[in-house]
């Protein structure tokens, strides 16, 4: 295992880490009055920073700042001003790309290549895409048939108004991307934001907030409050000063947040867990099936809401594909994300490493067999070996529950009826992929799969212009594309008599 010595870290990262940490409220660092949360480098199991554990008074202050901005300077900004600010933000993310990428790899553990390409690259493009929406929000004019009083005529129109102050709560798997996914559409629509990053990964969100200020976004429009979910997060989502909650994370917490939001009739959108099936039909060449299933599950160490964690391979090619996948997984190099040659990097935390190994052990105890991996990698970091489980039964927890680690269960299937039934046999419905060049079969399967996204001959691909969200217990609402505008606006009907 190789780790990068600290002297090779970008000086901008060291400078950021050396600064006193606080919340970000009204474009200023605000010291916390409560306890602290330690932030780790998961490749070395070392503390790299501390952030405040936000109190409810600090949440109040952030919400009040967001409200003042919403009703003040931000309301006066023209759509073209918001577009220009978001565009400047995208340029600043790009200009600070190496710093943000290293900060993310240091804190989250993922490969530096993924941090550069995705955390930074996608964040730049997503922010730029959403900047464009700021000037393209529209309503409609409506013909009305009202007949009274005689002689009066009517014209209706709809106006999209910002939903208001957004409380955003995000997870640790794609920390910068998740922050941008919430902030950029909210700002495009004229909303203001209080964001609570995951306790494990608050650093890039705090740096992003500084860049928002540098981009000219007025004080109070973007606020970041750090702390734990059960306290700081719960105080934010139940706050009566919040107009909308935008959440990404587990289904368990998503349900709690939905309940808390409904108590105040706060609007909410939930992007939740998954147990996404990867379906390999028998015409797929073995090499393509192995590459496709490996990238579907092992990308980001399986810490992906759409991770292809259930692999269904048609019987005729099952042994060849799964045997080769086991060999490929066993050959993967495990180590620090700072060495781009490492194919599997640490999980985000010791807690997540234990959780994932706990699932593997449950599977093994229930009769599953590991043909690759099967436990933790060499420490001190929070590594888990890429794991392929076979001989599984559909009722096992490893088949039904979201593991959120580099663990795939592989199962053979007979025909399309068999695989459609089993693909839908979990509470989740986030993503699915179908691999085949037999378009007749592909087209007949797509409508039978209950999932928010169905990929064909690819997996995990997300584009700013393509709606993203879950069926069933995988969520509520759609992010991305035009659908994001629905999440961050209210429709007002105007009825004019003349
Ligand atoms: P989580 O508990 O759902 O956390 C997501 C976010 O919600 C974090 O910011 C968390 O804060 C916050 N939170 C937790 N309880 C809250 C509450 N009662 N009110 C308001 N906010 C609350 O996820 P996790 O604990 O980090 O990971 C556990 C499992 O969730 C994973 O193993 C995985 O299966 C699943 N997960 C799914 C996704 C996804 O994208 N689908 C993402 C992450 C995790 P703290 O970080 O401070 O606890
Ligand atoms: Mg948590």
On the question of pLDDT at 7 being above 80, the answer is: no
Number of the ligand closest to the Cα of 255: 1
Q: Grade residue 466 by pLDDT with cuts at 50, 70 and 90.
A: very high
Q: Distances from the Cα of 376 to the Cαs of 158, 303, 355, 379, 412, in angstroms?
A: 56, 15, 11, 8, 27
Nearest CA to ligand 1 atom 8: 198
Domain ranges of the chain: 6-272+474-495, 277-463
Query: Three-state SS for 99?
Result: helix
Residue 113 structure tokens: 């290549």
Q: Whose CA is nearest to atom 33 of ligand 1?
A: 404
Residue 379: predicted pLDDT: 84
How far the first Cα of the chain sits from its last, in Å, is: 76
What is the pLDDT at residue 8? 79
In the block, residue with structure tokens 């550069």: 116
What is the predicted pLDDT for the residue at 235? 98
Contact 53, 23 (CB under 8 A): no
Choose the residue to mutate in 201, 245, 249, 473 for probing ligand 1, maximizing ligand atoms within 8 Å of C-beta. Answer: 249
The Cβ of residue 119 has, within 10 Å, a number of other Cβ atoms equal to 28
Check the CA dihedral 52-57-61-64 and report its sign: positive
What per-residue confidence (pLDDT) applies to 2?
Answer: 45
CA of 255 to the centre of ligand 2 (A): 15
Ligand that lies nearest to the alpha carbon of residue 37, given by its number in the listed order: 1
pLDDT one-digit tens code per residue, 245-259: 999 999 999 999 999
Atom of ligand 1 nearest to the CA of 352: 32
> Do 393 and 436 form a contact (C-beta atoms < 8 A)?
no
Ligand 2: distance of its center to the CA of 229 in Å? Answer: 6
Report in angstroms the alpha-carbon separations of 81 from 62, 65, 177, 335.
23, 20, 23, 45
H helix or E strand, kind and range, residue 433: strand 431-435
Instruction: Determine the Cα angle at 216 with ends 212 and 221, to 5°.
Output: 60
Atom 45 in ligand 1: residue holding the nearest Cα: 229
Q: Would you say residue 442 has pLDDT above 80?
A: yes
| Residue 290 CB partners (closer than 8 Å, separation 6+) | 321, 324, 325, 328
Nearest bound ligand to the CA of residue 356: 1
Q: How does pLDDT run across 314-360, given as a tens digit for each residue?
A: 999 999 999 999 999 999 999 999 999 999 999 999 999 999 999 99
- What pTM, to 2 d.p., does this model score? 0.97
Interval between CA 184 and ligand 1 midpoint (Å): 21
- What's 425's DSSP letter? -
- Average pLDDT of the residues in 192-203: 98
Taking the mean position of all CA atoms in its chain, how far away is CA 115? 14
pLDDT digits (tens, 9 = 90+) for 143-197: 999 999 999 999 999 999 999 999 999 999 999 999 999 999 999 999 999 999 9
Atom of ligand 1 nearest to the CA of 250: 3
Which atom of ligand 1 lies nearest, measured to the CA of 256?
Answer: 18
Q: Which residues, other chains included, contact 23 with Cβ-Cβ below 8 Å and sequence gap of 6+?
A: 29, 30, 32, 52, 54, 58, 62, 223, 224, 225, 226
Query: How would DSSP label each residue in 242-263?
Result: -SEEEEES-HHHHHHHHHHHHH
Q: List residues near ligand 1 (CB under 6 A).
A: 169-173, 196, 198-199, 228-230, 233-234, 237, 248-250, 253, 256-257, 272-273, 305, 355, 402, 404
Q: Which ligand is nearest to the CA of 348?
A: 1
Res. 1: pLDDT tops 90: no
d(CA 453, CA 430): 6
Ligand 1 atom closest to the Cα of residue 169 is 9
Residue 494 Cα, ligand 1 centroid: separation in angstroms?
40
Phi-psi region of 404 (alpha: psi -120 to 50; beta: other; left: phi over 0): left
Q: Which atom of ligand 1 is nearest to the CA of 37?
A: 47
The answer to whether residues 317 and 282 touch, using CB atoms and an 8 Å cutoff, is yes
| Range 277-463 classified under CATH 3.40.309.10 | yes
3-state secondary structure of 76: helix
Percent of the chain with pLDDT over 90: 98
CATH class in words for 6-272+474-495:
alpha beta
pLDDT of residue 6: 53
Residue pair 407/387 in contact by the 8 Å Cβ criterion: yes
Expressed in angstroms and rounded, the spacing between residue 34 Cα and the centre of ligand 2 is 18
Cα gap 155→161, rounded to integer Å = 19
Confidence of residue 225 (pLDDT cuts 50, 70, 90): very high
User: Percent of the chain having pLDDT more than 70?
Assistant: 99
Coil vs helix vs strand at 317: helix
Q: Which positions are catalytic? A: 271, 305
Between the CA of 173 and the centroid of ligand 2 the distance, in Å, is: 11
Tokens of 421: 């039934």
């Amino acid at each position: 295992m190789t780790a990068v010595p600290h002297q090779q870290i970008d000086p901008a990262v060291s400078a950021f880490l050396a600064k006193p940490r606080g919340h970000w409220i009204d474009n200023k660092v605000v010291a916390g009055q409560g306890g602290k949360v330690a932030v780790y480098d998961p490749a070395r199991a070392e503390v790299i920073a501390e952030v405040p554990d936000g109190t409810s008074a600090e949440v109040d202050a952030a919400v009040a700042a967001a409200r003042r901005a919403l009703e003040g300077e931000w309301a006066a900004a023209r759509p073209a001003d918001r577009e220009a600010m978001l565009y400047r933000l995208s340029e600043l993310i790009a200009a600070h790309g190496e710093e943000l990428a290293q900060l993310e790899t240091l804190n989250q553990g993922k490969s530096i290549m993924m941090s550069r390409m995705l955390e930074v690259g996608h964040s730049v493009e997503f922010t730029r895409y959403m900047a464009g929406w700021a000037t393209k929000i529209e309503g409609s004019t409506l013909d009305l048939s009202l007949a009274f009083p005689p002689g009066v005529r009517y014209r209706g129109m709809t106006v999209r108004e910002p939903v208001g102050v957004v409380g955003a709560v995000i997870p640790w798997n794609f920390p910068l991307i998740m922050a941008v996914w919430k902030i950029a559409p909210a700002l495009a629509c004229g909303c203001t934001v209080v964001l609570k990053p995951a306790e494990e990964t608050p650093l890039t969100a705090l740096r992003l907030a500084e860049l928002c200020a540098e981009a000219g976004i007025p004080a109070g429009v973007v606020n970041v409050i750090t702390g734990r979910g059960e306290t700081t997060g719960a105080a934010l989502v139940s706050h009566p000063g919040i107009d909308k909650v935008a959440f990404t994370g587990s289904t368990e917490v998503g349900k709690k947040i939905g309940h808390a939001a409904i108590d105040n009739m706060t609007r909410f959108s939930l992007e939740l867990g998954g147990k996404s099936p990867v379906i390999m039909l028998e015409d797929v060449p073995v090499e393509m099936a192995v590459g496709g299933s490996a990238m579907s599950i092992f990308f980001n160490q399986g810490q992906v809401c759409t991770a292809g964690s259930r692999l269904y391979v048609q019987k005729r090619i099952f042994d060849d594909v799964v045997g080769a996948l086991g060999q490929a997984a066993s050959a993967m190099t495990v180590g620090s994300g700072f060495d781009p040659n490492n194919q599997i990097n640490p999980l985000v935390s010791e807690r997540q490493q234990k959780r994932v190994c706990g699932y593997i052990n449950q599977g093994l105890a229930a009769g599953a067999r590991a043909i690759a991996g099967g436990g933790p990698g060499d420490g001190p970091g929070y590594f888990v070996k890429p794991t392929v489980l076979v001989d599984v039964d559909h009722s096992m927890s490893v088949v039904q529950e979201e593991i959120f680690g580099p663990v795939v269960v592989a199962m053979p299937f007979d025909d399309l009826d068999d695989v459609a039934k089993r693909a839908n046999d979990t509470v989740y419905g986030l993503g699915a992929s179908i691999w085949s060049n037999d378009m007749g079969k592909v087209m007949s399967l797509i409508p039978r799969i209950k999932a928010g996204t169905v990929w064909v001959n690819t997996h995990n691909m997300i584009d700013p212009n393509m709606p993203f969200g879950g069926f069933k217990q995988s969520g509520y609402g759609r992010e991305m594309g035009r659908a994001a505008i629905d999440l961050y606006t209210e429709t007002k009907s105007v009825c004019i008599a003349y």
